Chain A
Amino acid sequence: MIVGSIAGIGAGLAAIGAGIGIGNIGGKAMEGMARQPEAASKIQTAMLIAAAFVEAVALFAVVVAFLGTGQVN
Chain B
Amino acid sequence: MDLSHIFNSKKFFSIATCAMLIFFLSFSAFSQEHASSDTAHATTAQPHDAKPEKEEDISKMILHHIADSHEWHFFGHVAVPLPVILLTDNGLVSFLSNKFGHNDHGTELLDVNGTKLVYYHGKYFYPEAVKSADGTYIAYNNKGDIINSKPLDISITKNVVSLLISVTVLLVVFIGIANTYKKREGKAPKGLQSILEPIIIFVRDDIAKPQLGHKYRGFMPYLLTVFFFVWLNNLMGLIPFFPGGANLTGNIAVTMMLALCTFILTTVNGNKNYWGHVFTPHVPWWLYPLMIPVEIIGLFTKPIALMIRLFANITAGHILILSLISLIFILKSVLVAGIAVPFVLFISVIELVVGFIQAFIFTILSALFIGMAVEEKHAEH
Contacts and interface: CB of A to CB of B under 8 A. Distances in A.
Contact of A58 (B15, B206, B364): B15
A65 B25 contact: yes
Majority SS of interface residues in chain A? helix
Given A2-B33, A26-B8, A48-B7, A56 B305 contact: yes
Interface stretch (B114-122, B166-174, B307-315, B340-348): B307-315
Chain A: number of interface residues, binned into ranges:
35 or more
A25 B12 CA distance: 11
Given A2-B27, A48-B361, A56-B305, A22 B15 contact: yes
A41 B22 contact: no
Chain B: number of interface residues, binned into ranges:
35 or more
Contact of A41 (B2, B11, B27, B360): B2
B18 A11 contact: yes
Interface in B350-381: 357, 360-361, 364-365, 368
A66 B311 CA distance: 13
Interface string A7-24: 111011001001100100
Majority SS of interface residues in chain B? helix
Interface string A39-60: 0111011011101110110111
Interface in B1-24: 1-4, 7-8, 11-12, 14-15, 18-19, 21-22
B176 interface: no
A56 to B, nearest CB: 5
B22 A8 contact: yes
Nearest to B362: A52
B22 A12 contact: yes
A29 B8 CA distance: 10
Contacts of B144: 73
A11 B365 contact: no
Contacts of A26: 8, 11-12
B30 interface: yes
Contacts of A18: 15, 18
A51 B22 contact: no
Given A2-B29, A4-B29, A41 B316 contact: no
B15 A56 contact: no
B309 to A, nearest CB: 5
A55 B26 contact: no
22 contacts: A15-B15, A15-B22, A18-B18, A19-B19, A22-B12, A40-B2, A42-B210, A44-B3, A44-B4, A44-B7, A45-B210, A48-B7, A48-B361, A49-B365, A52-B309, A55-B15, A56-B308, A56-B309, A58-B15, A58-B18, A62-B18, A69-B25
For the complex of A and B, the 9 pairs showing the least CB-CB separation, nearest first, are A8-B26, A59-B312, A3-B29, A56-B305, A52-B361, A11-B22, A4-B26, A2-B29, A51-B11
